[in-house]
Amino acid sequence: MSRSIRPSTPADAAAIVALLAQAGLRPHTEPEHLDWKYWRPRSDWPGPRSFVLTEGTAPIAHAAIVPGAWSSGSQRASVFHAIDWAARPGEAGAGATLMKAIGSQAGALIAIGGSADTLAILPHLGFRAAGAAALYVRTLRPLRLFDGAGRAPWRALPRFVRGVAGVLAAPAPAAPEWRVRRISAEGLEQMGGALPVSGHGTTALERSAALFAHWLACPIAPMRLYLLKRAGRVRGYFLLASAPAQVRIADCWVDSEEPADWRALIACAVAEARLDTQVAEVVGWASDPLHAGAFKACGFLAREATPVQVRPSRGSAMPPGTLRVQMLDNDAAYLHRGRNEFWT
């Protein structure tokens, strides 16, 4: 029976969910969630975002993309991060075939983390190491860390001890000259030029008003976008995602190479996260030294490092310097199990 690759449609939803479940993943099943991830139009990316490999008419493998781009000097490349990648059990090579076909449509593929099986496969598909994204966590309310412990609260005790230590060591809030203001999708033009740029040994993935409009409409984890101002001028922004009892700094930037300004950015994000009284912890990723240093200076603890790998297309180069990635660059910004998943 012949095989072919095509963009998926909403009619494939049940088959995609079944493929992901058979692969041991925890797929979203709500139609609105699937629509937002795969099929809802995006003005910053008019192409398809979900693909299936079919045998006859039946999907036997699936992969979706989070589209993006990076620029370095005069060179610009489109990049995809593949998510929800799975194949029907017993279909050897189906997932790899689909991944290679998707990769041919972009300047590069990015992989951030993955299961043990995925990490073992990626080098065989041409992926190369490009650094790591470290997870940073700061506890806001240690007692909330016992939520969900049920009849075995002692299991949460080490987490609680780490949380208390983090609270006691937390620094003072940001200086008062830094101000934040929340904006909606209708106010995205106010961001101006305070968006990530590559330079100083770092390659940054691009951001745009259209990209943020898509993420602010996320139905899986509510998102809030804030402008960061100093002396009346927009200097940066941060995007917060709300998961059960947790706030994620899904993306952030300040137009400065000064560590003190990055500390102010993270401190302001923490202050906004704290306003939600149900939140136990605030978390974020950092893959570059400046961002990582700001997390540490603001009382965050490094919990684990996730490998970042890149597969350049033929004729394309690896990103120069350190590749800066955020939770917004894959599904880490919104992925959760619908219950408390503390990372402290």
User: Which DSSP string do the residues of 127-185 spell out, in sequence order?
Assistant: -EEEEEEEEEEEES-GGGGGTT-TT-GGGGHHHHHHHHHHHHH--PPPPTTEEEEEE-G
Other C-beta atoms closer than 10 Å to the C-beta of 233 total: 10
For the chain, the domain total comes to 2
Residues 86, 192 within the same domain = no
Length of the chain: 344
Residue 260 lies in a domain: yes
Residues 6+ apart with CB under 8 A from 261: 235, 254
Cα–Cα distance, 248 to 242 (Å, whole number): 6
The pair phi, psi for residue 187, each rounded to 5°, is -110, 20
Residues 170, 267 within the same domain = yes
Q: Locate 168 and state its tokens.
A: 């006691």
Residues 223, 180 within the same domain = yes
Cα–Cα distance, 72 to 197 (Å, whole number): 9
Residues 81, 138 within the same domain = no
Report the SS3 class of residue 66.
strand
What's the confidence (pLDDT) of residue 28? 86
Report the SS3 class of residue 33.
helix
CATH number of the domain bearing residue 205? 3.40.630.30
Quote the pTM value. Answer: 0.93
Residue 335 lies in a domain: no
Per-residue pLDDT of the chain (344 residues; tens, 9 = 90+): 789 999 999 999 999 999 999 988 888 899 999 999 999 999 999 999 999 999 999 999 999 999 999 987 778 889 999 999 999 998 878 999 999 999 999 999 999 998 888 899 899 999 999 999 999 999 998 887 777 655 566 667 777 777 776 776 677 677 789 999 999 999 999 998 889 999 888 999 999 999 999 999 999 999 999 999 999 999 999 999 999 999 999 999 999 999 999 999 999 999 999 999 999 999 999 999 999 999 999 999 999 999 999 999 987 888 888 999 999 999 999 999 877 777 77
Name residue 217's amino acid: A
Cα–Cα distance, 34 to 218 (Å, whole number): 11
Residues 59, 142 within the same domain = no
Report the SS3 class of residue 315.
coil
Residues 206, 101 within the same domain = no
Other C-beta atoms closer than 10 Å to the C-beta of 90 total: 8
Residues 101, 155 within the same domain = no
Residues 67, 28 within the same domain = yes
Report the SS3 class of residue 326.
coil
Residues 164, 75 within the same domain = no
The pair phi, psi for residue 131, each rounded to 5°, is 105, -160
- Contact (CB, 8 A) for 123 and 310: no
Residues 144, 87 within the same domain = no
Other C-beta atoms closer than 10 Å to the C-beta of 130 total: 22
Cα–Cα distance, 190 to 185 (Å, whole number): 10
Residue 120 lies in a domain: no
Residues 181, 301 within the same domain = yes
Mode of pairing for the β-strands spanning 58-72 and 233-243? unpaired
- Contact (CB, 8 A) for 50 and 64: yes
Residues 67, 189 within the same domain = no
Cα–Cα distance, 323 to 132 (Å, whole number): 9
- Residue-wise DSSP of 225-260: EEEEEETTEEEEEEEEEEETTEEEEEEEEES---HH
Residue 340 lies in a domain: no
- Residue-wise DSSP of 83-101: EEEEE-TT-TTHHHHHHHH
50 DSSP β-pair partners: 64
Residue 202 lies in a domain: yes
CA dist 190 → 90, 186, 194, 252, 321 (Å): 51, 9, 9, 16, 30
What's the confidence (pLDDT) of residue 151? 55
User: What is the extent of the structural domain holding 36?
Assistant: 3-106
Site of tokens 């880490």: 332
Cα–Cα distance, 252 to 229 (Å, whole number): 13
